[in-house]
Each structure stands twice: as C-alpha cells, then as structure tokens.
Amino acid sequence: MSSLLLAAFPPELAGLDAAPPAGWIAATTGVGALAAALETARLVAAHRPDRALFLGTCGAYDDRLRVGDLLSAAEAVATSVEERLGRAYRPAPERTRWPASWALPLPAQAVAVPPAITRSEEGARLLGLLAAAEHLELAGVFAACHAAGVPVAAALAVANRVGPEAHAEWKANHARVSSELVAALRAAGVLAP
C-alpha cells in the first residue's frame, strides 16, 4: 500500500512533488475547499491509499501562533465570517467539522476553513474564537478522506497573520515555511528522507 501526500499547489510540497519519499504518492488538490474535495476524492479512488497527509501554509488569527510555527490540524471547521456574525446560517444536517484521524508529532490546533481568505481584523477575531489558524482547502480534503474511510492528517506552517496585510506576508514567507515544514516532518520520521 501507499500513502497520499497532498498540497494545494506544488510550492507547498517543497520539492516532494518531483521526488516523493518512498511509499508516498505526491499530488496537488487545487485551491479552495471544493476543488480540494473533488481532487482528493478522485486521487483516493484512483490510488486507494492507506492514509493521506496534507501539507500547506496557513494564517494565524492571533498570538497563539506566529509566522514560522508548525502545527497539525486537530480538526477542520467549515465556517465563515457571515456565519459568525449571525448574518448567515447552516442547515442543521450540514456537517461542518472533520477531525484528523491519525496523529502527527506537531502541536494540534483547530483550523477554520472559510470560503475565501479573511482580510479584516474583525473577521480574524471572530473566526479566532473557533480556531487558531485559517486554511482554504482543509475541510474539502478531510471531508473526502472521511467519506472514503481513509485516515487523514494535515501539517501546516504559519506563513502570515490573518488580516489586511496577509497576502503580502504570505508571499514573503510561504516558500520558506513550506521547506521548514517538510524538513521537520523528515526529521520526525513522518516522511522518509
């Protein structure tokens, strides 16, 4: 059997797309929860992995995390600022939370998955009540793996603070923190060298 190593786009695999560790199949899901769910479901059906690991960068909502921190996703929480403000609601039967189903040797944090990148400080504060970090694809990846019965985990590197300057900060840091995340997972034995 093999394991599936996923990221939204190639730079977040930090070279593992060109040379995946033994026993791993590396692939990208695309950006956004819907694209990630569809591509993850396709990859799981095609490869029938024994487990999946998603690697990515994320934004920190507050001082619980700093740029450069590494974390594992304890759970992915689908949400939005409008929902937190009470201006939108989800039907009761809709599932909004998916836990990680295998453990990584990184501090675990809940990760919010809004439909778009949060740019306001108010939005960061509201979503920070649910989670420590923000990521766009994780709910889709976790939902697809849960539906297929494939154990899933996610390792994320904080590339920015969520807010008005997030994109510029992410651009400045994402390549470096992605490489640091891969190095840490190799050192911990999660990814064979």
Overall average pLDDT of the 49-69 stretch: 96
**Most distant CA pair in the chain: distance in Å?**
48
List of domains in the chain = 3-187 (3.40.50.1580)
Residue 193 has pLDDT above 70, yes or no: no
Angle between helices 138-148 and 33-47 (to 10 degrees): 30
Token representation of residue 84: 């937190």
Token representation of residue 134: 């923000």
Fill in the DSSP letter of residue 13. G
Residue 192 has pLDDT above 80, yes or no: no
pLDDT tens per residue, range 1-22: 699 999 999 999 999 999 999 9
Average pLDDT, the chain: 94
pLDDT for the residue 146 = 97
pLDDT for the residue 104 = 96
Which three-class secondary structure string do you get for 28-87? ECCCCHHHHHHHHHHHHHHHCCCEEEEEEEEEECCCCCCCCCEEEEEEEEECCHHHHHCC
pLDDT tens per residue, range 176-191: 999 999 999 999 999 9
For 146, the enclosing helix (H) or strand (E) is helix 138-148
- CA 151/CA 60 separation, integer angstroms: 25
pLDDT tens per residue, range 139-172: 999 999 999 999 999 999 999 999 999 999 999 9
pLDDT for the residue 38 = 97
C-alpha Rg value of the chain to the nearest Å: 16
User: Which residues are within 8 A (CB) of 45 and not within 5 positions of it... i.e. 6 or more apart?
Assistant: 148
For 24, the enclosing helix (H) or strand (E) is strand 24-28
Overall average pLDDT of the 49-57 stretch: 97
- CA 191/CA 179 separation, integer angstroms: 13
Overall average pLDDT of the 124-143 stretch: 96
Overall average pLDDT of the 131-143 stretch: 97
For Cα atoms 71, 76, 78, give the angle at the middle one, nearest 5 degrees.
Answer: 140
